[in-house]
Amino acid sequence: MHLNFCPRCGVPLRWQGKPVHVGPEDLRGRGVWRYQPFLPDVEPVSLGEGGTPLLPAPSKSVGARIFWKLEFLNPTGSFKDRGASVMVSALRAFGAMHVADDSSGNAGAALAAYAAQAGLRAHLFVPAYASGPKVRQIAAYGAELHRVPGPRAAATAAVQRACADNPHLIYASHNSSPYFISGIMTLAFEIAEELGWRSPDHVVVPVGGGGLLLGLFYGFALLAELGWVEKLPKIHAAQAAACAPIVRALAEGLSEPKEVEPGETIAEGARIPKPERGKEIIMALRVVEGSGVMVEEEEIQRAQSELAKQGLYVEPTAALAPAALPKLVAHGTIKPNEVVVIPLTGFGLKTS
Ligand SMILES: *Cc1c(COP(=O)(O)O)cnc(C)c1O
């Protein structure tokens, strides 16, 4: 069964939130569920996600004040745990027993872990060629792997067919579920709270399906609407030159990204040639006066290794935004003394 799209017009749905009559002083506990007043009213399925450190980067020649948000310290090794925790909690509350997604990466690992904790059966549709630590992690959590021959798109088609045919199999897609994105909003809440209920001047993020970017956007937008922060941060999207539909759409002034023919890239977690929420991503970037930055493979590699030399071991996809940083500074988009937050999205051991 599909719950993520409007049954009439087909657009991906989004969590509108609920009326909030609380102030920051009413927040309790730590991590994602500290922000329960903003989340669906359901019993949490939690593995201790969120509450990740905001670490000041050593001040170097860059000039700006950079903070790394250590999202790779989440329970399964990526920020996707925020989304999976809230999505699985909501789906369990709705009575779901079988959940499905088409990810052989961090979203699949997060769904498998939270489904295991919730007592749900996870079905991951993955390309037959998929292998490596992330697939082993998915299998270790006890998820059922459905190996689909053919290209990546065949796995998506297979999961959609399976969910359409079987009313008991719920499509728990990280890219389209409104509950997944509501969980990512907690990343914005946490950053703002750690900065003393202020928005940073800039946030730089890697963009694949765009859930991370949209969660941050909707999170900061909600806080601004409530008056908990004064302004929205500028958000900048970093993509590998090999697969950069969003950056290209911005450069061409389009309101919806065109599908690209993806090349090979070490930033495997952001290799999405046609993001489902493409229009929404472009809209969000326009509203915050953000920008798009394309980075080359050598730049990703260099950023990854520079982070490791600071003691931060991240996977290549997580190095996209740090790789974009020098360009944003060189172009004058980020100015000296401005506050910049960069989520480090995935752990280095994920791709070793
Ligand atoms: C999924 C993922 C991304 C991209 O996030 P989207 O929400 O798909 O844009 C970036 N880094 C890592 C490590 C990821 O797993």
Query: Residue 60: its pLDDT value, please?
Result: 65
Mean pLDDT calculated for residue range 239-267 = 96
Across the chain, what does the average pLDDT equal?
93
Compute the distance between CA of residue 136 and CA of residue 123 in angstroms, rounded to an integer.
14
Compute the distance between CA of residue 159 and CA of residue 171 in angstroms, rounded to an integer.
8
At the topology level, CATH places domain 54-79+177-350 in Rossmann fold (3.40.50)
- pLDDT of 3 higher than 70: no
* Confidence band of 19 (pLDDT split at 50, 70, 90): low
229: left (phi over 0), alpha (psi -120 to 50) or beta: beta
Query: Residue 152: its pLDDT value, please?
Result: 83
What pLDDT digit, counting tens, does each position of 97-139 carry? Answer: 999 999 889 999 999 999 999 999 999 999 888 889 999 999 9
Query: Residue 164: its pLDDT value, please?
Result: 93
Give the Å distance between the CA of 25 and the centre of ligand 1. Answer: 32
Please check whether residue 213 is in contact with residue 269, taking contact to mean a CB–CB distance below 8 angstroms: no
Give the Å distance between the CA of 108 and the centre of ligand 1. Answer: 12
What is the domain partition of the chain in residue ranges? 54-79+177-350, 97-171
The preferred substitution site among 52, 74, 80, 304 for testing ligand 1, maximizing ligand atoms within 8 Å of CB, is 80
What pLDDT digit, counting tens, does each position of 150-168 carry? Answer: 888 899 999 999 999 999 9
- pLDDT of 14 higher than 80: no
More confident residue, 173 or 77: 77
Query: Residue 131: its pLDDT value, please?
Result: 82
CATH entry 3.60.15.10 includes domain 97-171? no
- pLDDT of 274 higher than 80: yes
Query: Residue 256: its pLDDT value, please?
Result: 96
Give the Å distance between the CA of 10 and the centre of ligand 1. Answer: 24
Rg (CA), the chain: 19
- pTM comes to 0.95
The residues, ordered by sequence, that sit 6+ positions from 199 with a Cβ below 8 Å of its Cβ are: 191, 192, 220, 223, 224, 229, 230, 231, 232, 233
Question: Tokens 């908990």 appear where?
Answer: 228
Query: Residue 20: its pLDDT value, please?
Result: 73
Q: How many angstroms separate the Cα of 62 from the Cα of each of 88, 93, 240, 325?
A: 40, 47, 22, 9
The preferred substitution site among 14, 72, 74, 78 for testing ligand 1, maximizing ligand atoms within 8 Å of CB, is 78
* Confidence band of 2 (pLDDT split at 50, 70, 90): low
Task: Return the ligand 1 atom nearest residue 212 CA.
Answer: 7
- pLDDT of 308 higher than 80: yes
Give the Å distance between the CA of 269 and the centre of ligand 1. Answer: 5
What pLDDT digit, counting tens, does each position of 45-85 carry? Answer: 999 999 999 999 986 657 789 999 999 999 999 999 999 99
* Confidence band of 234 (pLDDT split at 50, 70, 90): very high
Give the Å distance between the CA of 206 and the centre of ligand 1. Answer: 6
**Two domains, one topology: 54-79+177-350 and 97-171:** yes
Q: Give the other-Cβ count within 10 Å of 144's Cβ.
A: 14
3-state secondary structure the chain: CCCCECCCCCCECCCCCCCCCCCHHHCCCCCHHHHHHHCCCCCCCCCCCCCCCEEECCCCCCCCEEEEECHHHCCCCECHHHHHHHHHHHHHHCCCCEEEECCCCHHHHHHHHHHHHHCCEEEEEEECCCCCHHHHHHHHCCCEEEEECCCHHHHHHHHHHHHHHCCCEEECCCCCCHHHHHHHHHHHHHHHHHCCCCCCCEEEEECCCCHHHHHHHHHHHHHHHHCCCCCCCEEEEEEECCCCHHHHHHHHCCCCCCCCCCCCCCCHHHCCCCCCCHHHHHHHHHHCCCEEEEECHHHHHHHHHHHHCCCCCECHHHHHHHHHHHHHHHCCCCCCCCEEEEECCEEHHHHC
